[in-house]
A and B are shown apart, each in its own frame.
Chain A
Amino acid sequence: MLKQRKDLLGLKDLSKEEIIHIINTAKEMKAVLGQDFKKTNHLQGKTVVSLFYENSTRTRLSFELAAKYMGANAANISASGSSIQKGETVIDTARTIDAMATDILIMRTNMSGAPHLIAPHVKASVINAGDGMNEHPTQALLDLYTMIEKRGDVSGFKVAIIGDVAHSRVARSNIYGLTKLGAKVYVAGPSTLMPYGIESLGATKCGSVGEAVADADVVMGLRLQLERQKRGLFPTIREYCNFFGIDDDCLKLAKKDALLMHPGPVNRGYELTSSVIDGKQSVIDEQVTNGVAIRMAIMYWLSQGGVI
């Protein structure tokens, strides 16, 4: 079946076939990263602009390098020092960027749905690099890619996602992607950081971290935003670490060869202890490498019309 896709807004509306196609393309792209001469012509002559309304180092750098490795012209705009702070609407900002012959527009925003809002207004392909609490599709795709790379297939996998699920777009995109590929997702964290009706997205809510992690194939920690404590959602970092932090004892409950993942940046010693971050099961650094490959794959795919 021929499908055309202009934008990548989320995993909610991506098919299993599209996900597999992107991951397979990423495998080829990863080979480029291992070369001495890291350059292809996949996006030669194309222009990639990233529009970031939220602070980001890794996602932004990952996209920028991915674009440059494929020969594209890459530029960045951030919320400070641009018209964004002068009261221009997001649609006008996007149209302005579009009018400069941009082919791919990457957007990061704290407002859920903003990439969906601008997409119909621009000719450029829009890639959602994280919108509010909604989705972070490229992160979930690199997570899926990493799992598949390490284990061949995720079908039937038990994946434990631990921490602030309520505010996490990474968790949501992973739930959509993993369930589409036949994995089972278990979530755990403070009850105040669990979203209403998470079961309706296809995940299973666990009463404790131990229950979620037990016999898991993958254990994924989420970044803890420290301001949640100030909003009264949990009492102290200390108590959080004691009950919801992932340490060696916790990881032992999972399968022996379980993968430890984290979208980064990690609050070392909070959601994960140093010993698990740097331990043998950790694939956190590989996630970062795969992130570049998956973004190369996505940009190339969309530049070719999003056809599978």
Chain B
Amino acid sequence: MKILIKEGRVIDPANNIDKIADILISDGIIEKVSENITANDAEVINAKGKIVAPGLVDMHCHLREPGFEYKETIETGTQSAAMGGITSVACMPNTNPVTDNAAVVGFILAQAQKAGNVNVYPIGAISKGLNGQELSEMGELKKAGAVAVSDDGKPVQSAVLMRHAMEYAAMFDLPVISHCEEMSLVDDGYMNEGNMSTYLGLRGITRAAEEVMVSREIILAQTTNTPVHIAHVSTKGSVELVRHAKAQGVRVTCETCPHYFTLTDKAVDGFNTNAKMNPPLREQEDVDAVIAGIADGTIDAIATDHAPHHVDEKNCEFGYAANGIVGFETLLPLTVTYLVKTGKISINEAIKKMSVNPSGILKINKGTIKAGDAADIVIFDTENQYTIDVDKFVSKSKNSPYNGFEVYGKVEYTIVNGKIIVKQGRMSK
């Protein structure tokens, strides 16, 4: 089975390539990248005027299986990822049962294999049951296929447990991903503390809740001389802390999500539960700082924090509504529209943040399309505007604040291990 991608603009930042070229895929592997390739027996994709890039790698998502299949399954989640041009996802361990043991990792990998859409890399729990008390069996998790550890959503409150997690995980070369939230400072809040929370009479969450723990993780990483990755950075202060730490040589990396560079807490007006997420949407100066952090390299990666929820979990009082939004199918268009089209970063830089860098942090050998690599490729269009329609999402859930947004960056093809999963903007099967 051969596929020939003709005359696209091939952007492969890992190999310093940005040129019009053809790509020949043979048996799931990239055989050749060069001009004027011919192959009689190949399925030809005309990519003229389109961008051909390494498939996106989303290092932070929730596939909800096992345990919450009414929100999303590995099958629907990976379809949704493919529709977003994502060829590899790393899924968080807040499943039920929690992904804190080899058996659950094995189950996730088996379900992913069965679904056959995109590569799935489970993230194991830092603590057993995400309880923040005892370390999970990280060695076993790694052996079973986990690529990182995190207590995402239930941040480790004990500083000493986090210290031990960093030291122990480093021994197995497992990245530690920290969702930074000092719960006593959250103080039962559910949106950003600012003029909007006062205006809406909703309990606010101070930025300090995030920043205090970002500081803690940086200091612990420095103390233990181990790496740490900060999840979904949302505040100006967090960006500054990471920037400073990197300058000091601390082994810290971080990610943000499209909602932190496209929306502010004004989106909550009218008690819009689709604008409820954790960390909460902040204010314009935070958005500006996040964009600056992306542009100057402080922020290494853009992830989705894809967090599907059933409509009933959002169609309720704001305070009771579940946190999070679906993000797979809006990652690329929001990044293209709000960062590339606005001139904040180049398209090459955007691909680095969505593919090369997260692969590097997770050490999964993706984000590259040179001969010999597994053929994980996205082909997308940056020239034609289209309107986001949440009802057309293939994700099981539709909880997104972006319905009706006019964007650029429509995914046309997603190829995973040489298999065409998305064809002409639709699921191919």
Footprint of B on A, CB under 8 Å? 12, 89-91, 109, 111-114, 116-117, 131-135, 169, 172, 195-198, 200-201
Contact: B319 with A200, CB < 8 Å? no
* A113/B198 contact (C-beta < 8 A), A89-B312, A133-B203, A196-B204 known: no
Contact: B201 with A133, CB < 8 Å? yes
Contact: A196 with B197, CB < 8 Å? yes
Contact: B316 with A89, CB < 8 Å? yes
Contact: B318 with A200, CB < 8 Å? no
Contact: B318 with A91, CB < 8 Å? no
A89 to B195, CA, bound (A): 29
Which residues from A are CB-within-8-Å of B200?
112-113, 134
Q: Measured between C-beta atoms, what is the minimum distance from B371 to chain A in Å?
A: 56
Contact: B271 with A112, CB < 8 Å? yes
Encode B304-338 as 1/0 by CB contact (under 8 A) with A.
00000000100111111000000000000000000
* A111/B197 contact (C-beta < 8 A), A89-B312, A133-B202, A133-B203 known: no
Contact: A197 with B317, CB < 8 Å? no
Contact: A196 with B198, CB < 8 Å? yes
Contact: A111 with B318, CB < 8 Å? yes
**Listed A/B pairs (17) with beta-carbon separation below 8 Å:** A89-B315, A90-B317, A111-B320, A112-B200, A113-B200, A116-B271, A117-B271, A117-B316, A132-B319, A133-B201, A133-B203, A196-B195, A196-B197, A197-B194, A200-B195, A200-B198, A201-B198
A166 to B203, CA, bound (A): 9
A117 to B321, CA, bound (A): 12
Contact: B315 with A197, CB < 8 Å? no
A90 to B317, CA, bound (A): 8
Using A196-B193, A196-B197 as known contacts, list a sample of 4 further A-B pairs with CB atoms less than 8 Å apart, ordered by residue number in A.
A111-B319, A111-B320, A116-B270, A198-B198
Chain B residues 391-428 with CB under 8 Å of chain A are none
Contact: B317 with A111, CB < 8 Å? yes
A135 to B204, CA, bound (A): 16
Contact: A201 with B199, CB < 8 Å? yes
Which residues from B are CB-within-8-Å of A135?
201
Of the residues A91, A117, A131, contact of B201 by C-beta under 8 Å: A131
Contact: B194 with A196, CB < 8 Å? yes
* A113/B202 contact (C-beta < 8 A), A90-B317, A91-B315, A91-B316 known: yes
Q: Measured between C-beta atoms, what is the minimum distance from A79 to chain B in Å?
A: 14
Most buried by B among A109, A112, A131: A112
Which residues from A are CB-within-8-Å of B204?
196
Q: Measured between C-beta atoms, what is the minimum distance from B420 to chain A in Å?
A: 43
Of the residues B193, B195, B197, B317, contact of A114 by C-beta under 8 Å: B317
Footprint of A on B, CB under 8 Å? 193-195, 197-204, 270-271, 312, 315-320
Q: Measured between C-beta atoms, what is the minimum distance from A127 to chain B in Å?
A: 17
* Least CB separation from B191: chain A residue: A112
A284 to B199, CA, bound (A): 27
* Least CB separation from B320: chain A residue: A111
A172 to B195, CA, bound (A): 13
* Least CB separation from A194: chain B residue: B198
Which residues from A are CB-within-8-Å of B195?
196-197, 200
Contact: A113 with B318, CB < 8 Å? yes
A151 to B199, CA, bound (A): 29
* Least CB separation from B317: chain A residue: A111
Q: Measured between C-beta atoms, what is the minimum distance from A103 to chain B in Å?
A: 24
Which residues from B are CB-within-8-Å of A134?
200-202
Which residues from B are CB-within-8-Å of A109?
317
* Least CB separation from B192: chain A residue: A196
Q: Measured between C-beta atoms, what is the minimum distance from B169 to chain A in Å?
A: 35
A196 to B192, CA, bound (A): 11
Which residues from A are CB-within-8-Å of B194?
196-197
Which residues from B are CB-within-8-Å of A131?
201
Contact: A172 with B201, CB < 8 Å? yes
Q: Measured between C-beta atoms, what is the minimum distance from B309 to chain A in Å?
A: 15
Contact: B271 with A113, CB < 8 Å? yes
A172 to B198, CA, bound (A): 9
* A132/B201 contact (C-beta < 8 A), A112-B319, A113-B317, A200-B195 known: yes
Which residues from B are CB-within-8-Å of A89?
312, 315-316
* A90/B316 contact (C-beta < 8 A), A113-B271, A116-B270 known: yes
Contact: A200 with B202, CB < 8 Å? no
Which residues from B are CB-within-8-Å of A169?
201
Contact: B202 with A132, CB < 8 Å? yes
Question: Sorted from nearest, which 10 A-B pairs have the closest CB atoms?
Answer: A134-B201, A113-B271, A133-B201, A111-B317, A197-B195, A200-B195, A195-B198, A112-B201, A114-B317, A113-B318
Which residues from B are CB-within-8-Å of A111?
317-320
Q: Measured between C-beta atoms, what is the minimum distance from A291 to chain B in Å?
A: 21
* Least CB separation from A109: chain B residue: B317
Which residues from A are CB-within-8-Å of B320?
111
Which residues from A are CB-within-8-Å of B319?
111-112, 132
* A112/B316 contact (C-beta < 8 A), A117-B271, A196-B193 known: no
Which residues from A are CB-within-8-Å of B316?
89-91, 117
* Least CB separation from B201: chain A residue: A134
A112 to B199, CA, bound (A): 11
Most buried by B among A109, A198, A200: A200
A114 to B201, CA, bound (A): 12
Q: Measured between C-beta atoms, what is the minimum distance from B192 to chain A in Å?
A: 10
* Least CB separation from B203: chain A residue: A133
A135 to B271, CA, bound (A): 13
A172 to B202, CA, bound (A): 12
* Least CB separation from A114: chain B residue: B317
